[in-house]
Amino acid sequence: MAAMHSSLPANSAIGSRYSSSFTSIHATASLVSFPRLPETRRSNRKIAVTAMVQQAVQGAPAAYAKEMERLSAKESLLLAFKDSGGFEALVTGKTTDLQRIDVNERITGLERLNPTPRPTTSPFLEGRWNFEWFGSGSPGIFAARFILERFPSNLANLSKMDVLIKDSNAKITASMKLLSSIESKFILSTRLSVEGPLRMREEYIEGILETPKIIEETV
């Protein structure tokens, strides 16, 4: 089977990694203790401790300001998602070009504020993630195109997409509804490889279209 590749940006667990680094700023001075020394050496040590405390105090406001900037960018992105109509508008083609540009620019801005130095190798990357947006470089774009190009929008709609990442492998699940009474899933298995601190390569391995099932609530 021929392999298909795409590149994608990586964003991961900003909050968890940032929290640990933020608290370590205050731990430096509070855990330091010194034995009693002759007056001259004690004076030099006092100067060193004072400089350390001042550095911690000056660093705390800067870290707080950076965190507030990140939270503001995140809220701005969520608002842009909402204004564009969200995932449903995106997959049904109702999102305008200006809305796409606006959301993509806000995503790029939030990526620049990611405190994780190498998100592609972070353990927080693993887990199950829901798709709220996707573009030409997003993982799972092949799964979305497979459904959107083969099923007319008046017969089927893509209701949800998620991806499970584990051990350098990803399984993308695209859920769809047919005639509002039948549901099916397209499952795409891929292999991920790290290309750099911010980029990964996605190799498509296998795609499976599950047998459609009737939604019991509609019967």
Question: What pLDDT does 96 receive?
Answer: 94
How many residues appear in the chain? Answer: 219
Q: How many domains does the chain have?
A: 1
The span from the CA of 99 to the CA of 53, in Å, is 47
Instruction: Give residue 117's domain range.
Output: 5-218
* pLDDT above 50 (res 178): yes
Task: Output the pTM of the full model.
Answer: 0.65
Helical axes 39-84 vs 14-30, angle rounded to 10°: 160
The span from the CA of 41 to the CA of 16, in Å, is 41
Tokens representing residue 109 in the block: 């801005």
Query: What's the pLDDT band for 9 if we cut at 50, 70, 90?
Result: very low
185 or 51: which leads in pLDDT = 185
Hunting for tokens 């008046």 — which residue is that? Answer: 154
Report the range of poorest mean pLDDT among 8-12, 63-67, 196-200, 201-205: 8-12
46 or 106: which leads in pLDDT = 106
Which residues have a Cβ under 8 Å from the Cβ of 130 and sit 6 or more positions away? 160, 161, 162
pLDDT tens readout for residues 81-136: 999 999 888 888 889 999 999 999 999 999 999 888 899 999 999 999 999 888 76
Query: What's the pLDDT band for 218 if we cut at 50, 70, 90?
Result: low
Hunting for tokens 């509002």 — which residue is that? Answer: 180
* pLDDT above 70 (res 58): no
